[in-house]
Amino acid sequence: QSVLTQPPSVSGAPGQRVTISCTGSSSNIGTGYDVHWYQQLPETAPKLLIYGNSNRPSGVPDRFSGSKSGTSASLAITGLQAEDEADYYCQSYDRSLSGSVFGGGTKLTVL
Amino acid sequence: QVQLQQWGAGLLKPSETLSLTCAVYGGSFSGDYWNWIRQPPGKGLEWIGEISHSGNTNYNPSLKSRVTISMDTSKNHFSLKLSSLTSADTAVYYCARGPDVNVDTWFDPWGQGTLVTVSS
């Protein structure tokens, strides 16, 4: 059971927009801690996609965006492409655990 | 830019101790946090712990009694030891940098990952 809750899977057709939610609690996201997102392609290490709730590292397309409100955060992907098919993870800090925590991951399927 | 390369034994027996090392290229330890994260086959990511540039450590409470993270600044390496292994410790282990921004920092970059299998 992950501290942050994500839907196990989402799907969309090429060109469409999808969102992935990440729900936490007053012990983590709700306290004001930042949320970060990672993309993991098959058989590869996770790659930073969004940091500090809504910031994109250099090289990440602006089709990817992040937001945070209350005890939840969201990752939005617009203009879906086949290469976006991957697992996506959210991450934050939990004050009760005094450490980083991850969501369980969401598998994105491009139909 | 910083790159991480990791290595260590991939097949261990129950009760043995896992030992992995991560080398930092293109940068130094100063100003950042150095982390270990693992991913059991087909499952999600679990943060194991971190060591700061000054040598302070912080571990996941669920693993704290079995984990030791250390660093060798002369070699730009940091290491993970996990003792009393069971099959539940079978996972891909990653090292990763956490920029020293705040406690809620992110992880970037990541090492390539090392599959550690615990089996008799």
pLDDT tens per residue across span B105-118: 999 999 999 999 99
Residues of A with CB under 8 A from a CB of B: 2, 33-34, 36, 38, 45-48, 51-52, 57, 89, 91-93, 97-105
- Chain A interface includes B44 (CB < 8 A): yes
Task: Using the predicted structure, report yes or no on whether residue A43 has a pLDDT greater than 90.
Answer: yes
Q: What is the mean pLDDT of residues B21-29?
A: 89
Enumerate the residues of chain A whose CB falls inside 8 A of the CB of residue B40: none
Q: Which of A46, A97, A102 sits opposite B110 (nearest CB)?
A: A46
Q: Tokens at residue A79, please?
A: 């203009």
- pLDDT at B61 exceeding the cut of 80: yes
The residue among B101 and A6 whose pLDDT is bigger is A6
Task: Name the nearest CA neighbour of B10 among B114, B88, B96.
Answer: B114
Q: Per the CB < 8 Å rule, is A91 touching B103?
A: no
B58 neighbourhood in chain A, CB within 8 Å: 98-99
* Cα gap A106→A9, rounded to integer Å: 5
Count chain A–chain B contacts defined by CB atoms under 8 A.
62
Q: Å from A93 to nearest chain B CA? A: 5
Please give the pLDDT value at position A11.
97
What's the average model confidence in pLDDT over B60-77? 95
Q: What is the mean pLDDT of residues A34-49?
A: 97
Q: Are strands B32-39 and B91-99 parallel, antiparallel or unpaired?
A: antiparallel
Question: What pLDDT, on a 0 to 100 scale, did the predictor assign at position A52?
Answer: 96
Residue range A70-75: mean pLDDT, rounded? 98
Asked if the model's pLDDT at residue B97 lies above 80, the reply is: yes
